[in-house]
Amino acid sequence: LGCTVEMIREMRKDANIRAKLRAKLTGKRRSDDDEDDAVEASRAESDDSDDEGRAAIGRKHTKPPYSISSNGRYYSNRDLPDLVTDSDLSNGLKALLGILRANASDPGSIYVGHLGCLLTELALEHYRLHEFAARDWRAIIRHSRAPQLSSHRVTLLEGPGVAHRALLVVAGDHGAPLQELLDFSRTVQDLPLSNCEVLYGRAGYLSALLWIADFAQLSEESRANVSRVCGGVVRDIVDDAHWRGDHYHWEWHDRPYLGAAHGTAGIVYALCQYIRHFDPEDGPQLLQRLIATVSWVLARCRCSNGNIESSVGSRSGGKLVHWCHGATGWIPTLIQLSAAIAQLKPRDHEALLSRIREVLCSLGEVVYERGLLAEKGAGLCHGVGGSTMALIALYSHTGDGTWLRKARQFALFAGRYGQWLSESFADRPYSLYEGLAGATAAIAATLAATRGQDNVTRIFPGF
């Protein structure tokens, strides 16, 4: 393209760069690029780190040999191999881990920084994939300087200070790190009432506490303290100002997003987790409102192609099949909603569970058809790593081996082509939610599920 590395880094500060590069190459701009770019612009505005990522466009690694859809968004799944062996996946995981461990040195968050790579190492231990667990993530996090907690980064995914302390708690330090996180709730309480989403808002802070409750061995006293703080955060998220009579309406940057990163799916996921973990007194009423909200979305924002729109009123036709926007992020949300319904057993719960299962399977087909993303890195947010995780989550929920077979096909794709995709398209090519660490995590989760472990995706926030 005639661009130096420095030029590319500068251009990435403009969130429209992908569309501009595409227009230069193809002479056209997709009508739904604006939707994608609005989110990237907001991420760029709020990114206060010095790291601009590695500009790696043009590196020569294995490019997928498959045909690409007419809109250029995804590779065809028609020629994926039917037989995927455990050796195929193990070899792919080993190769990607070698690349990741040699390159993942950026500081920062779980979403785009080294903490996400540490979470991948934690997952290897959690999955009992001991043959791949070469790094002592506990020693690394304990000997790393804790970033300051920031009112601009209050969440598990995008807050380095929050994530660092959460990892310390899971590593066994239930003293100062946990107390600092709980005290940080006062800062979260002062956020604008509209700031409720997962990447930068209250649901993202709530997710940090729920993740700790899931994976740390807390005392009864500590668990009670976590429950109390979570309850206060939830009250703000479900404030009556967000209730429209028949559904919750949350906005981010004045737009009613529906996906997992900035909208309804991610918030509902966190609220269902809260209900399941702590069984609050007002849980049944909250669950009824969440059921009503999801029903409203499915009735009004489901596309003819089976996907769910990225925002209320969007006219993109459901072209985005990502965790952040679309079916990939809605699958884990509906699984969490199903689990909450099964636990509380509201009226007609069996019929509700049956309907949700039908929707889940339909969304799974959307991900399988359009989840081999062609213009993205291989990460969990918008890449084949996230698509694979969604299929694994479906397998864990339904027990249907068809979803495991499809996930194994995607995991093999991630192992073979994840490096090329990540180094060609991701701003942070070795990160968890944008790049190669996401592909690595997806292969590891697939192997763990194949070996009989359940709910393997939940260790990664949002899945």
Say how far apart CA 390 and CA 407 lie, in whole Å: 8
Give the pLDDT of residue 243: 98
* 3-class secondary structure, 257: strand
Give the pLDDT of residue 38: 52
Do 270 and 206 touch, CB atoms closer than 8 A? yes
For 68-88, how does the pLDDT look when each residue is reduced to its tens digit (9 = 90+)?
Answer: 999 999 999 999 999 999 999
Label residues 85-106 b or e (16+ Cβ within 10 Å = b): eeebbbebbebbbebbbebbeb
Give the pLDDT of residue 39: 52
For 368-420, how does the pLDDT look when each residue is reduced to its tens digit (9 = 90+)?
Answer: 999 999 999 999 999 999 999 999 999 999 999 999 999 999 999 999 999 99
Q: What does the pLDDT average to over 296-322?
A: 96
The pLDDT-based confidence of 23 (bands split at 50, 70, 90) is very low
Token pair in block for residue 421? 């995709």
Say how far apart CA 100 and CA 105 lie, in whole Å: 9
196 is in an annotated binding site: no
For residue 30, the tally of other CB atoms under 10 A from its CB is: 18
324 is in an annotated binding site: yes
The pLDDT-based confidence of 324 (bands split at 50, 70, 90) is very high
3 is in an annotated binding site: no
Residue 419 to residues 59, 63, 117, 136, 414: CA-CA distances in angstroms? 10, 9, 15, 24, 8
Q: How far apart are the first and last CA of the chain?
A: 37
